[in-house]
Amino acid sequence: NAGVTQTPKFRVLKTGQSMTLLCAQDMNHEYMYWYRQDPGMGLRLIHYSVGEGTTAKGEVPDGYNVSRLKKQNFLLGLESAAPSQTSVYFCASRDMYREPYEQYFGPGTRLTVT
């Protein structure tokens, strides 16, 4: 039971390049989330999904796209990377009904855009 895994762990991009971050969970959770965390700051929600085939915007969605084609995977895409997207990206998942409503976080992806 690996929990929530994220691929890759580190990545350096040049401005204008694109990439996809992969999040996978093996807990059969319905809800999945993508956050970004800038240095010394809290987490800000980018996009989230309440089930396979559904996605929705969070607090800071601009410049990102997401897809949830399979229940266990949640992909975060950057179409044209910008230096402002340099951050640590965390994925999380949560069971729909079980209390407490606990989010399980992945280890993060550290992205640098030059």
Partner 1 sequence: LAKTTQPISMDSYEGQEVNITCSHNNIATNDYITWYQQFPSQGPRFIIQGYKTKVTNEVASLFIPADRKSSTLSLPRVSLSDTAVYYCLVGDGTGTASKLTFGTGTRLQVTL
Binding residue for partner 1 (CB under 8 A) from 87, 94, 111, 113? 94
Q: How far apart are CA 19 and CA 110, in angstroms?
A: 13
The binding track of 6-35 with respect to partner 1, each residue x by CB under 8 A or -, is: ------------------------xx-x-x
Binding residue for partner 1 (CB under 8 A) from 24, 48, 75, 111? 48
41 belongs to the binding site for partner 1 (CB under 8 A)? yes
Q: Are 94 and 101 in contact (CB under 8 A)?
A: yes
Q: Which residues, at least 6 apart from 97, have a Cβ–Cβ distance to it below 8 Å?
A: none
Binding residue for partner 1 (CB under 8 A) from 23, 90, 93, 111? 90
User: Between the CA of residue 50 and those of 47, 56, 67, what are the distances in Å?
Assistant: 10, 8, 12
In one-letter notation, the amino acid at residue 96 is: M
Closest distance between partner 1 and the C-beta of residue 107, in Å? 6
Q: Is the peptide bond before 100 cis (omega within 30 degrees of 0)?
A: yes
Residue ranges binding partner 1 (CB under 8 A): 4, 30-31, 33, 35, 41-45, 48, 50, 56-59, 90, 92, 94, 96, 99-108
